[in-house]
Amino acid sequence: MNQALYRSIFISDIHLGTRGCQAESLLDFLRQHSCEQLFLVGDIIDLWRLKIRWYWPKNHNTVVQKILRMARSGVQVRYIRGNHDPIFELLSELVHVEGDAIALGDIAILEDYVHHSADGKRLWVIHGDQFDAAMRYAQWLTRLGDHGYTILLWLNRHLQRLFGVLGVRRHWSLSAYIKYHVKKAVQFINDYESLLAEETLRRGYDGVICGHIHHPEQKTINGVLYYNDGDWVESCTALVEHHDGRMEIVHWVVPVALDNIQAA
């Protein structure tokens, strides 16, 4: 058997069940990149949005089927719950719970996980919504922001249609541009990263792997390794671990033909 391309792949914030999900890019990535361990770091299926309006195209189902096939073929798949997919609440009454984990077929569902990298580092894997102040203390504000974010993604789709009409092959996210250039948004990202790094240090881990804020990043904060694997709505990124323990963020966007861009 050939060695997998990567030791581990970490992906989060796919948001299956929403129009913003870049399912084709993710499928292309998973088809071309093999691994021994796959970590789904939260917000894989957007139950928030599905409760409001059902949206489930064929390629979203194909993503689920691909992950299940990977698990059946021997890839260790671990699903870390996110705030948009409160999977524990959904499944705890349906399947057997062992400690802080739920066994669902070949996939382990967890609140968090400590990953031992190939070079001996202990990395805390967690979605990260617990370190979002708005999520903890003002959920109504978070849901309001979620609606605004949905509008921005709707505008993104129409911009991509315009690029297609003009013959421009380009992936550009309006929501990401605003997030990276508005001072308060930048401060929110910095605060989020600092809080996670502080808690990681307090727990005695070498680093943290998270998602939640749709902002791929790889850096060191006060001696703590901080990795955010990004998302499959705006950035289309994954965090990968090489067999020597080296970590890398991979950007993977497949140009979408004009005919495949869904109208709102």
> Mind listing the pLDDT tens digit for each residue in 39-62?
999 999 998 888 889 999 999 999
Give me the pLDDT at residue 141, please.
Answer: 39
> Mind listing the pLDDT tens digit for each residue in 183-231?
455 677 888 999 999 999 999 999 999 999 999 999 999 999 999 999 9
Q: HEC string of 5-42?
A: CEEEEEECCCCECCCCCCHHHHHHHHHHCCEEEEEEEC
Whole-prediction pTM: 0.79
CA distances from 236 to 18, 108, 141, 142 (A): 15, 24, 26, 23
> Mind listing the pLDDT tens digit for each residue in 139-181?
433 444 455 556 555 566 666 666 566 665 555 565 555 555 5
Kindly provide the b/e burial profile for residues 87-114, where b requires at least 16 CB atoms within 10 angstroms of the residue's own CB: beeebeeeeeeeeeebebebbbbbebbe
> Mind listing the pLDDT tens digit for each residue in 1-38?
567 899 999 999 999 999 989 999 999 999 999 999 99
